[in-house]
Amino acid sequence: MPLLEPKPGALRPHGPAAPAPDRVPDRMAPGTPSVLRAELTELLGAEKVLWKVSDLVRYATDASPYRFVPQVVVIAEDIDDVSAVLSYAHGRQREVVFRAAGTSLNGQAQGEDILVDVRRHWAGIEVLDEGRRARIRPGTTVLRANAALARHGRILGPDPASAIACTLGGVVANNASGMTAGTTRNAYRTLSSLTLVLPTGTVVDTADPLADEELARAEPALCHGLMEIKREIEADPELVARIRAKYEIKNTTGYRLDAYLDGTTPVEVLRGLMVGSEGTLGFISEVVFDTLPLDRELTTGLLFFPSLPAAAAAVPLFNAAGALAVELMDGNTLRACVSVAGVPADWARLPRDTAALLVEFRAPDAAGRAEHERRAAGVLAGLELVAPVASVTNTFTGDPAVVSGYWKTRKAFVTAVGGARAPGTTLITEDFAVPPSRLAEACEALLVLQAEHGFDAAVAGHAAHGNLHFLLAFDASVPADVDRYAAFMEAFCRLTVERFDGSLKAEHSTGRNMAPFLELEWGPRATELMWRTKRLVDPDLVLAPRILLDRDPRAHLRGLKTIPRVEAVADPCIECGFCEPVCPSEHLTTTPRQRIVLRREMMRQPPGSPVLDGLLDAYGYDAVDTCAGDSACALACPVGIDTGALMKDFRHLRHGPREERAAALAARRFRTVEAAARLAVAAADKITSAVGDRPLAVATEAARKAVRPDLVPRWLPQIPGAAARALPTTRRVGAAAVYYPACVNRIFGGPAGDPGPSLPEAVVAVSQRAGKPVWIPRDVTGTCCATIWHSKGYEEGSRVMANRIVEAAWGWTAGGRLPLVVDASSCTLGLAHEVVPYLTEDNRALHAELRILDSVVWAARELLPRLEVLRTVGSAVLHPTCSMRRLGDEAELRAVAGACADEVVVPDDTGCCAFAGDRGMLHPELTESATAREAAEVTSRQFDAHLSANRMCEIGMDRATGRGYSSALLALERATRP
């Protein structure tokens, strides 16, 4: 179908704009200052230096309420790069901040000078000692590490709610804990060793038996100074007692002074100090964790109480009964979580004062679980619970699906509440801890304090450990709102310290928001020791100044970001970064969060701004064109923000009337377009067979340069040949289902060199073999699921095809009496869900009656029980497509593969291949980047079969791995062939 030149300037904000006070100033429009850019480019290479204003803006935000725009962003590839940057910063009196996932809630991942990205090239895990330990690189997410450990029945101690996105470097740098870690399973307690780069460039591996000897030789003053502070502390019994008492509850405020008590040598002290140091003492390049048993037997309950203090009062009872996790959620949190997929809608009607506890017991075996169930029942019998809405059951369960839903709700706390905040307001997330026995009292005091300052915060937390989180929203562009927030923070800090002797930061580390209150909690003596530690390790104050230590009493009010309104689908975004690890363009251009961040900066700028021009110049390629549109971000986002849908809307904005008419014409004449496409593929196949790929590659490259890379696909050697002209002959009489071969399988053939049947032939054969014959309507040619059009933002073409296919499917299936089986997962998704917005009212009613099944689901549920497997292969690796994940069909793919292979493997790093129809031909670099880690896993060993469920995704994986991917239905046909 035609792809025509988009309208220039279509993404420019319309209407009068009042410049925001925190907008990027015009002087930054050229990006990184030329001298800084030139020097770092010479030092590291141009590909490691990001300098455009759009680069600086997209790295200026983390999950916190702060925003600081760096002067330059460096993509560090190894320790040599880190050392080179540190050496350069020392020589030029510059500052350096390290950034991994950017999920920090207090501005720890932001800097105003040199920002170093240590996520892109820093992922990887090595499982040691049969899982009892794990060596992990700092850019590895907690989720990814635990996936590798789970196969050994082990798990990491820290379990932050942001595990899907946060990285182990940040977990250690912030001493993260989470729902179950408390004070015994956190990063400080479970870290075996680490490798760090000091501000001077000295590398220290704390596991090396010679580490102290080498450090003494390289840094004698540092070693002497650390031991001198240790002696001073140990000589002061009152201070020792104070330090020990401070860590009896969760505490991440300031440096870990107990490192001086727990360590006996400079290296041991340094190892402890690095935990919770927030990147202010050095760069953590590798960590080794002692892991914990993964207790798989659990019983979990979500219990509702009439008030927050009532729920808090029940916490000690569950602690005494042996609960591993007791999570508290107040009414504001529960009501906000209605936006989370799977949460009952009637939670919106929960009374204002309602609160809930999510309680979980875990055991290694069934006997242990039974004992926990008995204890839980005993506690329940003495509680006064409420059931204010029908969905509240107040029971314990071990059902994995129900338990997963409970935890999904709890982990969505920040994003769900943040998404429900008033538009244009900034979100503050704070966490504090009090002795668990005083939790109920602290809850009441917090509610009173909020009311006094005009806030209605949401409260949740790790109640078992006396650790509460609360969220506040205010407008950072309104001085009175900022002053109200400042007054609340002052009162809150004094309340926590003076009334409860609590921790101002329980697990998120000090950060910019609490740095001014450090001395309030620790007192002048301990605070001065922290300043001495900083000056000792980093005498030139190169690393992350003002993030952990800052004597300015109003430092926490500096850099607060405004939140200008953007498009409705993206406006609830709190910039948490949960979406980033699943984004195919994460390491190529921008992520969903960054796409929204850039859009917000556009809204901050006045018309005619040179910064706005620079952002728009980059946005077309960096955001719109290189978005795969797979909407995996919507699955990762707890409130379902679909940035892929937004980019499709932007593609539509860039089309003029001529482009829309041409796309609609292609939809109306798709029979001709389909035939032409198949003939073109056949002709290309003949050309390449005769003279190779070079002529077509040269021709398409010339066309791409002459027109536009986003409009002309590149010729790829892995493109398969044409499909057969005719589909298999089938009969309607006696058919158990209508089989709809997707247009991609009517145009493209199967894997090159495969002598077996085509995919349509295989589906027909295996269905017949199972006694569930399928019928292919003779008029399927010229129809499509409409994904071609809506993925590119062609609305009229989408309407034409969506209505045509639904009307046809209604007739084929006899009004929905027969299921419609579709043989490409993206087309299944398109027909089942994505056509709906484009349908007429009448056709929506028809669509609601259709039963649309992916062919893999059809095979797993209807065919496998009736088939005899006659042969299997040894091993199969699967690529579950992003469409399958959205449909929830991954288990069925595993089932089909499991019937065909003795061993089935889904790579830990599997993700969207980003081929996305033809996007992988328009921008091959997108697929190359998106598949790099998965491909490394796949090619690290041999497999007998490489399986998926979508032809274009299979082509993408072919390109990435050099292995031949094919449909799992082809494998099933071979496995059951007589």
Question: Which domains, ranges and CATH numbers included, belong to the chain?
Answer: 31-294+509-563 (3.30.465.10), 297-505 (3.40.462.10), 670-861 (no CATH), 867-976 (3.40.50)
pLDDT of residue 721: 80
Q: What is the DSSP letter of 278?
A: T
Closest alpha carbon to 613 in 82, 101, 31 = 31
Q: Cα–Cα distance between 874 and 65 in angstroms, integer?
A: 52
Of all helices (H) and strands (E), which one includes residue 887?
Answer: helix 882-887
* CB 222 within 8 Å of CB 204: no
Strand (E) or helix (H) holding 956 = helix 951-961
Q: What is the largest CA-CA distance in the chain?
A: 92
Instruction: Tell me how far apart the alpha carbons of residues 125 and 134 are, in angstroms, rounded to a whole number.
Output: 7
Specify which residues 966 forms β-bridges with. 947
3-class secondary-structure state, position 197: strand
Q: Cβ(735)–Cβ(818) under 8 Å?
A: yes
Residues ≥6 apart with Cβ < 8 Å to 860: 891, 892, 893, 895, 896
- 436-466 pLDDT tens trace: 989 989 988 998 999 999 998 889 999 999 9
- For 717-728, b where at least 16 C-beta lie within 10 A, e where not — what string? ebbbbbbeeebb
DSSP 236-257: -HHHHHHHHHHTSS---SSS-T
Low-confidence ranges of the chain (pLDDT < 50): 1-4, 704, 707
C-alpha 459/C-alpha 331 separation (Å) is 8
Question: Which residue blocks in 605-656 are alpha helix, DSSP H?
Answer: 610-619, 632-636, 643-653
Distance CA 769, CA 786 (A): 32
- Pair of tokens at residue 744: 């991609």
pLDDT of residue 2: 33
- pLDDT at position 663 is 87
CB atoms within 10 A of CB 825: 30
What is the per-residue pLDDT for 676?
85
Q: Output the six-digit token pair for 609.
A: 């701004």
Distance (Å, whole) CA 100 – CA 410: 24
Give the pLDDT score at 700. 54
Write out the two tokens for 592. 């969903």
* Secondary structure of residue 467 in the 3-state scheme: strand
Q: Cα separation of 948 and 924, whole Å?
A: 20
CB neighbour class for 87 (10 Å; exposed up to 12, middle 13-18, buried from 19): middle
| Cα gap 187→208, rounded to integer Å | 20
pLDDT of residue 417: 87
Sequential DSSP letters for 343-383 = S-GGGGG--TT-EEEEEEEEESSHHHHHHHHHHHHHHHHT-
What is the pTM assigned to this prediction? 0.94
Burial class (CB in 10 A: 0-12, 13-18, 19+), 663: buried
Q: How far is CA 458 from CA 197, 446, 570, 842, 875, in A?
A: 39, 11, 22, 43, 49
Contact assessment for residue 929 and residue 901, using Cβ atoms and an 8 Å cutoff: no
* Distances in whole angstroms, Cα of residue 651 to Cα of each of 6, 496, 619, 710: 8, 51, 12, 11
Cα–Cα nearest to 346, from 393, 309, 410, 310: 393
- Contact yes or no for 97/79 (Cβ under 8 A): no
**Close Cβ partners of 27 (under 8 Å, ≥ 6 residues apart):** none
Q: Which residues contact 961 (CB under 8 A, 6 or more apart)?
A: 931, 935, 938, 939, 946
Quick check: helix, strand or coil at residue 302? strand
Q: Where are the alpha helices (DSSP H) in 474-622?
A: 479-494, 500, 511-514, 518-537, 592-604, 610-619
pLDDT recorded at residue 660: 87
**CB under 8 Å to 972, separation ≥6 — which residues?**
762, 766, 859, 863, 864, 867, 896, 899, 900
Residue 774 CA to residue 772 CA, distance in Å, equals 7
556 neighbors 514 (Cβ within 8 angstroms): yes
Q: What is the pLDDT of residue 15?
A: 60
Contact 925, 585 (CB under 8 A): no
Distance CA(556)–CA(511), nearest Å, equals 9
> Cα–Cα distance between 410 and 430 in angstroms, integer?
16
pLDDT of residue 171: 96
Tokens of 264: 């006996």
462 by DSSP, 3-state: which?
strand
Distance CA(119)–CA(134), nearest Å, equals: 18
Using an 8 Å Cβ cutoff, are 670 and 782 in contact? yes
Q: What is the DSSP letter of 498?
A: I
